[in-house]
Structure 1
């Protein structure tokens, strides 16, 4: 058995073992070397945090409470998109079928890692190491396939086209320069096994910032390719994604599509606007002159798509906490648009559902003050008792956007999830 096979088997055992608890999170790099799990977990392919010593969930002052909660602790959790309402004078009134809280963090009883050779490492536990390793070794992952789901789109094809035209009119008037417009796909009466679905999704679409999050009867099943923010010491890194194209069926077609994405002026324009927004966000907490773009228009291959990714770095000013860095950059510019507040106001107007955990962030803090958070995209949200499943996809709308091309890009981004769900119904439901 090679290392990849060992890590895949370890992943299944960890998920099976963690599922005995009401709350657990798996942070999964899928062994993708360009974006390994970093900070104190840098040498690990997988990190599982399970069961609860303490937790925070919902708050009237979420960021200040989070700062106190994570101080000198290993803490895992998520930030929902609608925390925007605590950062700016905004509201969220659209319906929400999944029902994740706006924020959840927990101090785990157990932290178990898998290194790049596929070996288990117990980083924290109130159990004897030999006992816990024996428990994990006895876990057998049982795949539970689901019946094909009838996936529906919340916004019809014609509604989507009309909305993009109206958003472009706002751009023409100067209200915004760019807006990330998302649409929800959903299934009712959805009966899936979340663990099996995660294994299938990470097999079909392995990504460097994947994660699985169980919060009692609600589940996040994520194949995210995007990092929101990483902090190591005083160094902060953001890696916004703007620019997507499908993969080819041959190496020659792959190379052609990669060059097409790299040289596409519209995709470059989208990327630059968001890079400038990220630079501005990081400058609020950075030492003077320390914000730098260390990579612009990097083209990264994933199983389903090529992505254009840029990297922005800064050095944090003395006296600024990690939570302040996150708050002053939240929500991430790649999922809002520019100017950020105006774009978020229009997102609320044109989207049909509350984003909730979608386009939020999942990650962890360490006792040293380091952190690493993804962007919750390419992800399934599942409310098990309601049997409601949701996933959203979107893209940046600019003045040069072609509405039909934007719709088709959404379908490219949805392809892996659609494949896993094995949909029965089409999405063009006018």
Structure 2
């Protein structure tokens, strides 16, 4: 069933409000960003016919079997600590969220919005539309006032960066993504209200509201991890961040400085090389190429340097194997990849979990699209634990104070929404 939507924003809000009454929801919104590889403007998956929850060890194989039994639409997430299945690694850091390493569900209802048309895929499409149409407009409750605490003081963070740079000097690694967690305990938020505010403050092309029972991923990610379109794989790593300015001339100057900044260019090209290497594991020989290098893309809060790397998928590999071959994404690990992941387990103070993992979907034609879980708030309503991670790339030339400030810049939208 396809319906004409006159007030798109109102329809999306009402649809999400209705969907959030279910125990399983995946809302993916491109927020109007023009992207040649995005199949739709918004996808809303509601309810569950089947689910899979898995831990690192056999998770990708379990997902492959689940996919065989459920060849239609699937929505879900891959946690960062699936690295422990892909490589001989472990995770011993503190985890306040207790989310699984992998979770997917096959939706009962699906809404796909393109332009001003909404396609409702359901056994009861008219009922679904009626339920959405009957929703009263969302009114956000009182803004929460939650002060997120950090696992690091500023000086502790600077000391850790200095120690990491000694590893770079020794040649253990070239670049790494060092992350810190901001958190709050025993708190209550209205996840739907927080997400709608976050999406208003920081609309990004891979925004996410994901719910399973009392667990939530509220995301404003600008980054694509990996997509499949036919036989083509697309990865778009981000490395390079600059703050937006209200003054147009100053904003343009900052944009040009980012485009020509030696450290940012160095970070980006190292990760592009890593991604190219990851894609080679799944690619037909000679098909890995960089479509765009050092592209500058502007978002509400920041300018980002984004590169696009593509290849043709080998005929003998499944979509899930292609994901496993590139996971975790290079922009959130470093180079060499395994050494960087090992070191970050030593220096970081909390388990990343879903953060720097991926949320996305598989379509019936076996195409898929997954984001990178950054700029995202994670919430376990059962134990009241709220978590937000931020990271930045550490290189030999990195300035620890500036990297700390970059983490705060990335946290700005979330902090604004939480009133902290």
TM range (shorter): over 0.9
Structure-1 residue corresponding to 2:342:
345
Structure-1 residue corresponding to 2:354:
357
Structure-2 residue corresponding to 1:272:
269
2:120 corresponds, among 119, 122, 134, to 122
For the residues of structure 2 that align with 1:359 and 1:367, how far apart are their CA atoms? 26
After superposition, residues 139-218 of structure 1 pair within 5 angstroms as 139-140=135-136, 141-218=138-215
For the residues of structure 1 that align with 2:62 and 2:330, how far apart are their CA atoms? 24
Whether the aligned pair in 2 keeps the contact of 1:29 and 1:35 (CA below 8 Å) is no
Structure-1 residue corresponding to 2:49:
53
TM-score by length of 2: 0.96
2:377 corresponds, among 380, 384, 392, to 380
Whether the aligned pair in 2 keeps the contact of 1:206 and 1:223 (CA below 8 Å) is yes
Q: CA deviation at 1:7?
A: 2.5
Q: CA deviation at 1:5?
A: 8.8
Structure-1 residue corresponding to 2:22:
21
Deviates more, 1:59-68 or 1:347-356: 59-68
- Determine if the alignment matches structure 1 residue 420 to structure 2 residue 384: no
For the residues of structure 2 that align with 1:13 and 1:114, how far apart are their CA atoms? 13
For the residues of structure 2 that align with 1:236 and 1:214, how far apart are their CA atoms? 27
TM-score by length of 1: 0.94
After superposition, residues 219-298 of structure 1 pair within 5 angstroms as 219-298=216-295
Whether the aligned pair in 1 keeps the contact of 2:5 and 2:118 (CA below 8 Å) is no
For the residues of structure 2 that align with 1:151 and 1:349, how far apart are their CA atoms? 23
Deviates more, 1:305-314 or 1:130-139: 130-139
Alpha-carbon spacing, 1:268–1:5, altered in 2? closer, same or farther (3 Å)? farther
Structure-2 residue corresponding to 1:312:
309
5+ residue gaps, structure 2, are: none
SS of the residue 1:303 aligns to? coil
Whether the aligned pair in 1 keeps the contact of 2:175 and 2:334 (CA below 8 Å) is yes
Whether the aligned pair in 1 keeps the contact of 2:5 and 2:11 (CA below 8 Å) is no
After superposition, residues 56-95 of structure 1 pair within 5 angstroms as 56-59=52-55, 60-71=57-68, 72-95=71-94
SS of the residue 2:323 aligns to? helix
Q: CA RMSD in A?
A: 1.4
For the residues of structure 2 that align with 1:11 and 1:349, how far apart are their CA atoms? 43
5+ residue gaps, structure 1, are: 424-430
Whether the aligned pair in 2 keeps the contact of 1:222 and 1:376 (CA below 8 Å) is yes
For the residues of structure 1 that align with 2:229 and 2:358, how far apart are their CA atoms? 18
1:136 corresponds, among 132, 142, 153, to 132
Q: CA deviation at 1:6?
A: 2.4
For the residues of structure 1 that align with 2:301 and 2:36, how far apart are their CA atoms? 17
| Deviation readout 1:51-73 (Å, 9 max, x if unpaired) | 11111101441111111222332
Runs of 4+ in 1 over 6 A off after TM superposition: none
Structure-2 residue corresponding to 1:333:
330
Structure-2 residue corresponding to 1:426:
none
| Deviation readout 1:19-43 (Å, 9 max, x if unpaired) | 221111101111111366x3xxx2x
Q: CA deviation at 1:145?
A: 2.6
For the residues of structure 1 that align with 2:268 and 2:402, how far apart are their CA atoms? 17
Alpha-carbon spacing, 1:265–1:213, altered in 2? closer, same or farther (3 Å)? same
Q: CA deviation at 1:12?
A: 1.3
Whether the aligned pair in 2 keeps the contact of 1:31 and 1:116 (CA below 8 Å) is no
For the residues of structure 2 that align with 1:366 and 1:147, how far apart are their CA atoms? 37
Whether the aligned pair in 2 keeps the contact of 1:10 and 1:114 (CA below 8 Å) is no
Whether the aligned pair in 2 keeps the contact of 1:297 and 1:309 (CA below 8 Å) is yes
SS of the residue 1:30 aligns to? coil
Whether the aligned pair in 1 keeps the contact of 2:143 and 2:419 (CA below 8 Å) is no
